A and B are shown apart, each in its own frame.
Chain A
Amino acid sequence: MKNFQQNLKTLEAADTQVLGVSMDSWFSNKAFADQIGVTFPLLSDWGGKVTREYGVYKDEYQAPRRVNFLIGKDGKIMEEQVDDAAIDPTKIVDACARPKLKN
């Protein structure tokens, strides 16, 4: 999440809203956001309905895998990063900086 925060200006300049999602309570998410200085919403998928709809629920963790989706203004998925690759958001930041996204 910190990595997205560090790139937030670039992402916002490219008309991009960042949303974190986990199965934690909104209470722990707020505490987490405050601790690491995240200013974008950390959404609570309590019960995991949305996590399962996106196919990212992992039994082993009883929680989501680490996955980033970049969703375009048309609501379609443009980029995906899974597990370790999802820690570094460069690919998504670069994709956002591409001019085609600025329409």
Chain B
Amino acid sequence: MLGALLWEGVSMRNRSSRVLAASLLLLATTAALAQSRKDPAMPKVGELAPDFTLKYSDGHDLKAVKLSDYRGKKNVVLAFYIFAFTGG
């Protein structure tokens, strides 16, 4: 009787540790998936630049700029900078 109770206890512990292991595995997989769902890499020289429309203020109005509007007309320097009011 005592043996059966003990056995029950052990198997319960086993089961809970298995559940724990499974949840840990699930967590790890989720984390790995989140890690792999990263932003796209920088486009390389020779590749098409991704099109976009962004706005700026000329002091009166907000104006939209679409990259592909320059296609066939002008070269474009796209200068990403960290924050306004930083050097460079």
Binding site for B on A (CB under 8 A): 1-4, 11, 14-24, 26-32, 34-35, 41-45, 49-57, 61, 63-80, 82, 86-87, 89, 92, 96, 101
Determine the chain A residues whose CB is within 8 A of the CB of B63 once the complex forms: 41
- B3 CB-CB contact with A under 8 Å: no
User: B43, B57, B58, B65: which contacts A77 (Cβ < 8 A)?
Assistant: B43
Convert B5-36 into 0s and 1s, putting 1 for each residue whose CB lies closer than 8 angstroms to a CB of A. Answer: 00000000000000000000000000000000
CA–CA, A32 to B62, complex, Å? 16
Interface SS of chain B: loop
Interface SS of chain A: mixed
Q: A75-B67, A96-B77 are in contact. List 19 more A-B contacts (CB 8 A).
A: A1-B81, A4-B77, A20-B80, A21-B79, A24-B84, A26-B55, A26-B57, A29-B57, A29-B84, A30-B56, A30-B58, A34-B59, A66-B88, A70-B77, A71-B70, A73-B74, A76-B49, A77-B46, A89-B79
- Given the interface pairs A26-B57, A42-B84, A44-B54, the reply to whether A76 lies near B74 with Cβ below 8 Å is no
The tally of residues in B whose CB lies under 8 Å from a CB in A reads 43
User: B47, B70, B72: which contacts A76 (Cβ < 8 A)?
Assistant: B47
- A selection of 16 A-B contacts at a CB cut-off of 8 Å is A17-B77, A22-B84, A44-B54, A53-B39, A53-B40, A54-B49, A56-B80, A66-B88, A67-B80, A68-B80, A71-B67, A73-B71, A76-B46, A77-B44, A77-B45, A96-B77
CA–CA, A1 to B82, complex, Å? 11
- Given the interface pairs A24-B84, A43-B54, A77-B46, the reply to whether A19 lies near B79 with Cβ below 8 Å is yes
